[in-house]
Structure formats: C-alpha cells, structure tokens
Structure 1
Amino acid sequence: MSIDVRTTEDVPQFGLLIRQHRMRIGLTQRELADFSTVSVRAIRDLEQGRARRPRQDTVRLIADGLRLGLRARADLETAANQGRTSWAVKASYEAEPPAPPVAVDTLLGREQETAVITDELGSGAERLVTIVGTNGVGRTRLALEVATRLHAADRTPVLWCAVAQPPAGAGGDRLAALVRGCVDQLLDTADPAAGDDLAAFVETVADRPPLLVLDGLGDRTVRPERVAHLLRGCPGLRLLVTADRPLDVPGERPFLLAPLALPEETDPADPLAVNQVPTVRLFVERARRARPDFTLTAADAPLVADICRRVDGLPLAVQAVASWLVVYDIPMLHQCLHGDPAGLLQHLAGAEGGTRLRDALHRRLALLPAADRDLLAALCARGDTFGLPDVMALTGRNLPDSGRAVRDLVLHGLVRPSYEAGQSRFRILHLVRAAQLCGPGVEPVPADVAA
C-alpha cells in the first residue's frame, strides 16, 4: 500500500480548512461523511489535496456537516472559489500558450547573441540565463527576441513580467496576476497575507512548462532557495532574466551583453563599408526617422563613425543622439557631442532615456567597492584603453586578482572588453568619462589597495 507523503504546503487552503474544522469538533472522516452525505473518499481527497476544485453543492454539504457559522462558511466558500479560479486559469493557459509582447522595432546587430541564448534555452542546456550589461545596452530587446523565437519555433508559452512596472490592479489578467505574485515571492516582496502564488504557479504551468521572463530586475536580489524550489517543482521551466548584475544563484548562466560593434578608427571612410557596422546601421535607421531624406555621404561617414564611438555603441544613446538631427546637421552634432555629450543623451522629443542612462552610470559607480572605484579613476587618468598588466602595475595585485577586479568593472557595464592581435584589452566607456565618473588627475592607486 502506498503512503501519501504530501505536506501541508501541497494542500490547498480549502482542504486545510476542512481538516481544521473537523479536528476542532472531534469528527473522523467517516463521521463527517455521515453528517454531510459526502463520500469518505471525496473528503479524504479534498483534505489531502488530490481534489482541488469542489463543486458548490459539495462545499455546502460539508459546511452543513461541520455546523459552520456564517463567517467560517464564507471562508470555506472563498477557499473553494480560489481552487476553481486556479483551474480556469490553468485551462486557459494550456488552451492558448501565451506569447511575448510584440516588438515595435527591428533588432540590429544581435544575431550571434540571440542565436546563443535561444539555443541554450531551447535545448535545455541552460535553464536560468541572466542577461547583464549597462543600462541602454538593449537587454530587454534581446530578451524579447529570444522569447519571440522560442515561441515561434514550438509555441513555447512565454510568461513576461516587467518587474519595474507596478502590478495591474484588480480585475486584470488572472494569469498575469499569478505570474506577478510568483515573482514577488522570488524577490521576497510579496504581501505576507497573500497566498502561496509560487506553488499555484507551479501547479498551473507544470504540464506545459513555459519560458518565464523577469525583465528589468535591476539591482534587486532573489531568494536562491525559492528559485531552486521553482525549478525543481517545474522541471521543464526555463527562466530568462535581465538585470544589472548576475543573481549569484546555483545553476545560473550569466550572459554579458556588450554594446554594439563599433567602427574602428582605421576603417575606411567609404559610406557603404561604414554602414555595415551595426552601430552605424542603427544610427542611420534612427536618423531617417528624424529626417526621412537622410543619406550617409562620404563626407559624413567618418563623423558618424566617430559619433557612434563617442556613445560607445549603446543603442539607447545612439537613438537619443540621432534624434537631434531634426535640428542639427552631422558636423554640428559631432561638434556638440565632443563638447557636451551629456546634453545630447536626452532624446530631442523629451524621452527620459538619457536621464536614466546618466543616473544608471552614477548608480553603478556607487555600487563598486571603494578599491575598484579608485582603480577605475586611476585607469581613466591613464587613457581610454588598458590591459591586465596595467592593472597589476597600478595596484600591485597578482594576475588573478587583477582579472577579478576588471571582471567587476566589465559586469557593471563601465568597461568593454576587446581582443586585439590575440591580446585582451579593455576600453573605458566614453560616456563614463564624459559623465565625470572618473575625475581627471587622480593619483595612482597605492600598491596596498587590494580587493
């Protein structure tokens, strides 16, 4: 004979209430069955969580058999309705797999990144991927492209939660509310009085595991044990996160999203050649929104290439700068960007992207350990690019410790890596320097500054 090993966490509130009331008045399951005319098996299944959606007449008969008062009867009805609502959500979810939000623009220059993450999640090689990178680099757009491809390939359900946005009010999408409740529990921000949305989420999606996207996690932290519980409870579930930094939970695959590829300073000024570079293609596409007749000429090509380098290939910054072509020509835009780049990061139409970008850079610097902030300041004073030997010379650290320090700068989105002639080199973002995150004339870091 098999033994039921369900815990109280597996049993819906309705089953728990029946058992509590029955035990309170000293009834066995057989006695409650006699009083209520509901079968012993039905009562046992309800109490143990094997039956979760009782009919209304069953609820009424059990309440009568327990001799419940008006308030206790109302609580029992509410618990029963929750079970029926969960079943309705589950049925709707399985009938029509949810799709990701619809993209409003074309993704440029991210084919390799999209293919890697799509393959890893689609094959099941990775179940938890966190896209990290500086604000404005396009984390959300990449996640959306991956989700869209997975949904199109085999109708994978996509449950999208924009973490930074406030949850929908009452009367909204029940599935969306369930997803948000589950995410709040992962973040430990759920209302203590709320139900166990994480368990309800697993019950709803377990038969057809989705891609769950947590977009815009920022610098929030998750409860590792709850993430592990979610992945165990729903073995086919895949989790895609966009965040400021890795979650640091077991099984996570951090994916560093670098800015778009930039034209090299040695590239020819041929407009056709320059226009093949993803950052320039994005600039030209956005320039034509401001000026439909815009054409990249031989005279403008080197200036546009330098403009793209000055904004570090960050898509949000490229879009903001290109919007100013409504009133500027290319030479004037280039000149202003060299003189006061911060002002041009504010979209001409008044969008807040530039403000968010500058604030995010300052916030990222503030999150650095003091030793890493000092190192960044010293590197800024030396120039735009550096290698690990430069870090070792500045700090006196050994090679592994120097590598860890640079990795922190890279993951914070303040430095971008490159590989030149078989050597690893790193470039401090122009916008980091322009925002005066690193002051000029900083003294070299003392040799005893070690992380």
Structure 2
Amino acid sequence: MREFGELLRTHRIGAGLTQQQLADFAMVSVRAIRDLECGRTRSPRAETVRLLADGLRLDEESRADLQQAGGRAAGRSTVAPPAPAGPGGLIVGREAEAAALAASLTEGRPGAGHAGQRLVTVTGVSGVGKTRLALEVAGELHFRHGWSVLWHPSQSVPSINDEQDTVLVTDRRPDPCLLDAHPRLRIVVTALAPTELPGELVFPLGALADDAAVRLLLTHVHRVRPAFRPEPANQAALVGLVHELDGLPSALEFAAGWFMVYSPQHLLERLRSNPLDPTSAHLRDSLRRSLSTLDVDGRELLVRMAEGEDPGHSPYVRDLCVRGLVRRTGSRYEALNLVRAAVLEPVSGPHLAGGVALTWPV
C-alpha cells in the first residue's frame, strides 16, 4: 500500500493544485498538507482525510484508497462542506460574477422561465478560476439559502435529496436525465467549452480587471515576501505584470513565487521575453489543451490570431471568446498573451498548421 503522503501528493499534482490551492479548497492548513506529504504526520484524522478528498474532488475509488492509506475505513462520501472563502473573504475581484452566477441559479431568466437556469456551464481558459467561483457560489447558496451542496468528480450517480434545493458542482458533462429526475436540482459545470446540453446557460468567465488582478497578485506575494509593499516606483511594473499574465489568477499565483528572487521590474522584463516562463508546466499544457475543444476552423483562426492577424468578422470569434482564449480590446479581438505563447511555443510532437504543438489526441 502506498504511503498516505505520497498518495496525497500524487493526487494534488494530478489535479494541478499547489499546496496553497488545496488548502483553500479543503479548508486544511498548508502546514498540515506539507507535514502529511513529507511524512512528518502519518496518521491524519478522519475529518482531515475527508476534507482533503473533497478538496481534490476524488471519485469513490480514489477516495477509498486515500482513506485506506490514512488508516481509515473506506465508506461512501458524505455531502461535502460548503466552499471555502478566498483570501480576506470573497474571492478577489469576482464579486460581480459571483452575484450573477448565484442569481442565475436562484432566479428565473426573463421570458424563459426557471428551467433555463437549472444547468449553468462556467467556461473559460484554464487557470481563470472557474472552479473557485463555482465553489464560492455553492458555499453562498449553502450558507444563505440552506441548499445542499454536492461535488461530483466521478461518473457515478450522486445521491440527491429531493426534499431540498441542491446544487451539484462538476467538471464533467452531466447526465441530463438528472435534471428530469430531480426537480429541485441545479447543476454547475466548470469546463473549457459549453456542454451543448439542452437548457444550458453558458457563463463565460473572463480575466480579472487590472485593479483586482494587482490585489490578487499582492495577496500571493505577501505569502512569500510579507514585507513587500507597492509604491510609486514599482506600481507601473505591477500593472505591467498583470497585463502580461492576462489577469489570469493561476498565472498570478505562480508568478508571485518569483518575488522571492526578482523585483517587479526584473520579473516584468523576464515575462516580456516569455510570458510562460514563470508559470507551471501544468498551466502551459492546459492552455494548449484548450485547443482540443475547437474544431479545425476555430484552431486555425486562433493560430492566425496568435500570429497577429485581425479576425475581422469571422463566425468563430465567438467560440474563442466563450472559451476565454481571446478577448476584445476596443474594436479589435486579440489572443491572450499566455495563449499566444502556448500556441506558438515550439515543442516536440505532432503539430497543427502554424507550428502549434499538439500534446493531446485529436
């Protein structure tokens, strides 16, 4: 049997989470996760194991393996706890999006009745914070409205209580029959692209605005450099950093770690030469993987946009926007800096037209 710490670390890395991100999702301290992964703590409490499994969104089999490695009897998962709050309360810069998503689940859409809001898919590029937003809103519905909250990372059928309103959060394409069978159920899907299921409301999540992105960056920086303070001399560099990183929350978090060795000005210089340099391999691969949700015409348009071409009135621009791969700036559309770098970065393996590397099956 694998050691608990080794298994926990494998699941965490497989989910693309840092120790801090898992701590936020699971409501377990970073120190506890660090001690477990390095083997300093070998007998975690049953509640700790459950919270970690919920934070990792493990399926039943993986959850049972983790419980067994922790010396706990395997059993069916209970309803997961409500979503954790972000740094200092609500996740930074997402107040409007959180309110809109909550409203879409609790209120009817004008002229369409309530059924249109029973299935909401939050779309966007990897690292934009889709899951974090969904968890935040699920927690809000639990605390304020008494809804039951279910995480659903597996293909198994979740246990749903039809006597109370329930929100199910999943990163998989749900079985549409669930909504027919459970009238008080709402489903929130987090995905790179819409599910195309009947009645789906697509909720595109874009990058953070500059001021919110700077606040989030500083929140992460203070974890590695508590004494760092923004000042007139570095303000322009901080704004430049969030521009180069497209206001993408996961990219900001990874870049913050470099403040231990770089000033904002030096880090900005490094970013301008390669925006992907201070981010993770997981983010790099995830950005490329977003291409797999596009058809051939959409991928070819993204390649051309990454190379600087104006898309004009191409009908595929909307699909790229829904997936968060491009954004509107004034009257023009442009590919995100990180998307452009991921698309054009040369790697080994099969390629699309334009030199785009494919690291996934097509």
Q: TM-score, normalised by structure 2?
A: 0.67
Q: Note closer, same or farther for the CA distance 1:207–1:367 as it changes in structure 2 (3 Å cut).
A: closer
* d(CA) in 1 for partners of 2:289, 2:343: 13
Work out whether residues 303 and 343 of structure 2, in 8 Å CA contact, stay in contact via their aligned partners in 1: no
The one-letter amino acid of 1:151's match is: H
SS at structure 1 position matched to 2:150 = strand
Q: Which residue of 1 aligns with 2:84?
A: 102
| Residue deviations 1:186-229 (CA, integer Å, cap 9, x gap) | xxxxxxxxxxxxxxx35xx1122311111x33xxx44xxx41x2
Q: Which residue of 1 aligns with 2:169?
A: 213
Please say if 1:278 is aligned against 2:212: yes
* d(CA) in 2 for partners of 1:237, 1:341: 41
Work out whether residues 100 and 160 of structure 1, in 8 Å CA contact, stay in contact via their aligned partners in 2: no
Work out whether residues 109 and 278 of structure 1, in 8 Å CA contact, stay in contact via their aligned partners in 2: yes
* Structure 1 unmatched ranges of 5 or more: 1-88, 164-179, 184-200, 263-276, 346-353, 393-401, 444-451
CA apart distance, 1:121: 0.8
Q: Which residue of 1 aligns with 2:262?
A: 328
Q: Which residue of 1 aligns with 2:234?
A: 300
| Residue deviations 1:392-433 (CA, integer Å, cap 9, x gap) | 4xxxxxxxxx2x300121223311235x3xx5x322100122
* d(CA) in 2 for partners of 1:104, 1:213: 18
| Residue deviations 1:87-125 (CA, integer Å, cap 9, x gap) | xx9xx98xxx86424346340111111001111212354
The one-letter amino acid of 2:265's match is: P
The one-letter amino acid of 1:412's match is: R
| Correspondent of 2:335 among 405, 428, 433 | 428
Q: Which residue of 1 aligns with 2:63?
A: none
CA apart distance, 1:377: 2.5
Q: Please tell me the root mean square deviation across aligned C-alpha atoms, in Å.
A: 2.5
| Residue deviations 1:25-57 (CA, integer Å, cap 9, x gap) | xxxxxxxxxxxxxxxxxxxxxxxxxxxxxxxxx
Q: Note closer, same or farther for the CA distance 1:375–1:438 as it changes in structure 2 (3 Å cut).
A: farther
Work out whether residues 362 and 437 of structure 1, in 8 Å CA contact, stay in contact via their aligned partners in 2: no
Please say if 1:146 is aligned against 2:137: yes
* d(CA) in 2 for partners of 1:151, 1:366: 35
CA apart distance, 1:361: 1.6
Higher helix share: 1
* d(CA) in 1 for partners of 2:197, 2:295: 21
Q: Which residue of 2 aligns with 1:338?
A: 272
Work out whether residues 326 and 335 of structure 2, in 8 Å CA contact, stay in contact via their aligned partners in 1: yes
Q: Note closer, same or farther for the CA distance 1:368–1:123 as it changes in structure 2 (3 Å cut).
A: closer
The one-letter amino acid of 1:162's match is: P
CA apart distance, 1:380: 2.8
Work out whether residues 82 and 149 of structure 2, in 8 Å CA contact, stay in contact via their aligned partners in 1: yes
* d(CA) in 2 for partners of 1:369, 1:246: 13
| Correspondent of 2:120 among 126, 129, 153 | 129
* d(CA) in 1 for partners of 2:193, 2:263: 38
Q: Which residue of 2 aligns with 1:376?
A: 302
Q: Which residue of 2 aligns with 1:182?
A: 157
* d(CA) in 1 for partners of 2:132, 2:191: 13
Q: Which residue of 2 aligns with 1:86?
A: none
* d(CA) in 2 for partners of 1:98, 1:335: 43
Work out whether residues 291 and 326 of structure 1, in 8 Å CA contact, stay in contact via their aligned partners in 2: yes
Work out whether residues 147 and 211 of structure 1, in 8 Å CA contact, stay in contact via their aligned partners in 2: yes
Work out whether residues 213 and 240 of structure 1, in 8 Å CA contact, stay in contact via their aligned partners in 2: yes
Q: Which residue of 1 aligns with 2:323?
A: 412
* d(CA) in 2 for partners of 1:342, 1:391: 27
CA apart distance, 1:333: 0.9
Seq. identity, %: 36
* d(CA) in 2 for partners of 1:327, 1:312: 22
Q: Which residue of 1 aligns with 2:204?
A: 256
CA apart distance, 1:342: 2.1
CA apart distance, 1:134: 0.6
* d(CA) in 2 for partners of 1:325, 1:438: 25
SS at structure 1 position matched to 2:103 = helix
* d(CA) in 2 for partners of 1:132, 1:436: 19
| Residue deviations 1:284-341 (CA, integer Å, cap 9, x gap) | 1111111111111111111111110001010000111111111111121111111233
* Structure 2 unmatched ranges of 5 or more: 1-75, 109-113, 347-352, 355-362
| The 10-residue stretch of structure 1 (428-437 or 97-106) with the greater mean CA deviation from structure 2 | 97-106
Q: TM-score, normalised by structure 1?
A: 0.54
The one-letter amino acid of 1:360's match is: S
| Correspondent of 1:238 among 176, 186, 200 | 186
Q: Which residue of 2 aligns with 1:391?
A: 312
Which of 1 and 2 has greater Rg? 1
Q: How many residues align?
A: 264
Work out whether residues 279 and 308 of structure 1, in 8 Å CA contact, stay in contact via their aligned partners in 2: yes
Work out whether residues 209 and 234 of structure 1, in 8 Å CA contact, stay in contact via their aligned partners in 2: no
SS at structure 1 position matched to 2:131 = helix
Work out whether residues 254 and 278 of structure 2, in 8 Å CA contact, stay in contact via their aligned partners in 1: yes
* d(CA) in 1 for partners of 2:328, 2:212: 17
